Chain A
């Protein structure tokens, strides 16, 4: 019993830590480190997004994406013409044929992808 009392007393003594004179500045230092970590994280995510975007765009260029779309568009137009000549219009073939208009659709899709990436990044930063 005496022993338990002493242990409780000891716990109280440990709990009664004196307030240190520089408690305020210490807290500010911790807050600054938190802010610094936060800023660094935002820069890191932003940089990762930019690098990912650049890599994606360069892959599109390297893979001759636009040329392939042009070819696909030509093929679709040819197919569509064939159907027309046969008297059977195909809306699907017409749609694919519209891709032949200089790869504009791809640019629009790429723009939308960039905007979407921006939204996603914003959400990710907000979540972290």
Chain B
């Protein structure tokens, strides 16, 4: 009975569900999708994907994850693993549609700096991300949302490592102004994972 199978899987840990999935148990994998689907779709939306496109890419990412579930060693969380797959798939789609080049070109144009009045308002992450340029948004979300290192993001974006680090730094500065105006401290360092 499908319902009882779902409830059986609902009580299991992600690692156990991955083991079942590796044996071809599609209902176990469905439970993983139920648990982490929103997070994966959320990362893609935060990278700038429209909801419908984010759903398409997230579906493809989960199907890829199912195909490659034997490669998942449990070193990180399942959600983080799928988010990385999804981020790379989305970038590939951007490259295929030649949208990534346009984004990179746009990045040289300066975006308007958020005003202090805006910063004082309570803004959630979604809103804060909107002030970032497309590539900054991609870089920040890939590094902080999908868990890619700077090097991995640079490779996926086909951009120099230094450029990615600059985008992340600028993006963080803008986010910080929006999310934590009370700190008032300018970022100087960098995320040491590149």
Contacts and interface: CB of A to CB of B under 8 A. Distances in A.
A2 interface: yes
Given A14-B46, A26-B55, A27-B34, 8 more contacts: A2-B185, A7-B172, A10-B140, A14-B141, A20-B37, A20-B41, A30-B62, A34-B30
In this complex, the member of A17, A28, A38 whose beta carbon has the largest number of chain B beta carbons within 10 angstroms is: A17
Interface residues of A, number: 28
Interface stretch (B89-97, B109-117, B157-165, B175-183): B175-183
Nearest to B79: A15
Nearest to A24: B34
B38 interface: yes
B30 A31 contact: yes
A27 B30 contact: yes
B42 to A, nearest CB: 4
A15 B144 CA distance: 9
Given A2-B185, A23-B34, A7 B26 contact: no
Q: Is the interface of A mostly helix, strand, loop or mixed?
A: helix
A111 B50 CA distance: 57
A31 B172 contact: no
Interface residues of B, number: 37
12 contacts: A3-B185, A7-B144, A9-B179, A10-B140, A10-B144, A14-B141, A17-B39, A20-B41, A26-B33, A34-B30, A34-B63, A38-B26
A13 interface: yes
Contacts of B27: 31
Contacts of A68: none
Given A3-B189, A14-B125, A9 B29 contact: no
Complex A-B, nearest 9 residue pairs according to Cβ-Cβ distance, in ascending order = A17-B42, A14-B145, A27-B34, A27-B33, A31-B30, A17-B39, A20-B38, A13-B125, A34-B26
B83 to A, nearest CB: 9
B185 A30 contact: no
Interface in A1-48: 2-3, 6-7, 9-11, 13-15, 17-20, 23-24, 26-31, 33-35, 37-38
